[in-house]
Every structure is written in C-alpha cells, then in structure tokens.
Amino acid sequence: MYFLMPFCFCMKVRNAGNVIPNAQHFQDEYFSCEPAALELGCVINDIRHIIVCGHSDCKAMNLLYKLEDEEYSSQRNRRLSPLRSWMWTHANSSLEHFKAWRNAGMQGPLIFSSETPLRRFVAYIDPENKFALEDKLSQINTLQQLSNVASYGFLKPRLESHDLHIHALWFDIYTGDIYYFSRGAKRFVPIDETSVERLTAEVRRYYS
C-alpha cells in the first residue's frame, strides 16, 4: 500500500497479502499497524492518494486459495501457522467474493463498496481469461482492500469530501505489465502507450 503526497513523497506499508484489515475486526484500543499507518499518512500528513498494490503469483494469495480446503484451514492448522491465521482472519472476505464469482461462472461483474457505503463500483475480473485462478483471486483481493480502507471512521470526512482517493494497481511479475483499475472501464487496464493518456485523463478528472 502506497501513500502519495503532493510533493511526491511516498510512504509505503507492506504485509503478507497486502491486506488492510477491515475496521470491524478491531475493538476498543486494539489495532494493528495498518490503520495506524493510514491515520499517520492520511490524517496527520494530509496524504491525498492511497494506492493498493497486488501482483501475480503472490504466495500469500496462493495460500489464501488453499484455505478453501477445510483441513488446510482448520483451527488446528491455523494455530500452527501465523500466515494461515492472518489470511483467514483478514482476507477471507476476498476468498468469499472469489468463490461466489467463480460459482456464478466467472463472467459477471463483482460489486465493491468504495469511498462511502453508498458509493460502489463494478469490476470485471480478467475478462480475457489470461491469468490463473490464484491471480484472479489476487485481483479481487486488491479491490477488496479499497473497501477495507474506507471502513475506518477517521478517514470518512476526507473520503466523503473527495479530499482522499483510493486506487488499485496490479503487477504481472512475469511480463512486467502494470495494470491500473479503471472505474470507467470497470476492469484492470494495462498501462501502456495505448492507454496512458486515457487513464491519466480519468485520474485528473475524478481524483484531482
């Protein structure tokens, strides 16, 4: 997850699966480092753009995909594996989105909440069917994090006033292609000489 400031300062937060836990997981004063970083970057330092990044052949996403298996994801095995426990607790919503989409034939759109509960966006995942199932899950997980970011109350005023913006990038580690999720195109679009002007215009129009 990257935070971009107006004078080109970049703040980066990384964890297994690039997961931002949803605010519903935290009670009272218990938090993890991810929401603390969001507050530091977006409230204290006035950062205006959050970019959630995912990539192909992500080992955490490969593990998340395996958590469909009841034995692999059993409580006993989760207690033996911090990574399984982390992904089960904080990325299971991505897996449920993926399972519902796959069971429906992997053709229709997915709907995600975004900056506010009433503001949603539509996403078509890998319509050309270029990527493995685990990579499709990775793209879904990247988009799910936009909803998770927006779940924090301390970001609500800036999100509602369009003073803070959330984006998604996805990187194919084997080809070097970088994809930007275009809400206009409703899909991840490769950033290249044929798309860069259109994507730049979209960002300037809706996220400046």
Angle at 60 between CA 54 and CA 65, to 5 degrees: 100
Instruction: Give the span between the Cα atoms of 135 and 153, in whole angstroms.
Output: 31
- Helix/strand/coil for 79: helix
User: Angle CA(97)–CA(13)–CA(26) in degrees, nearest 5?
Assistant: 60
DSSP state of 15: -
How far apart are alpha carbons 196 and 108 in whole angstroms?
26
Annotated binding site for Zn(2+): 55, 58
Binding site members: 55, 58
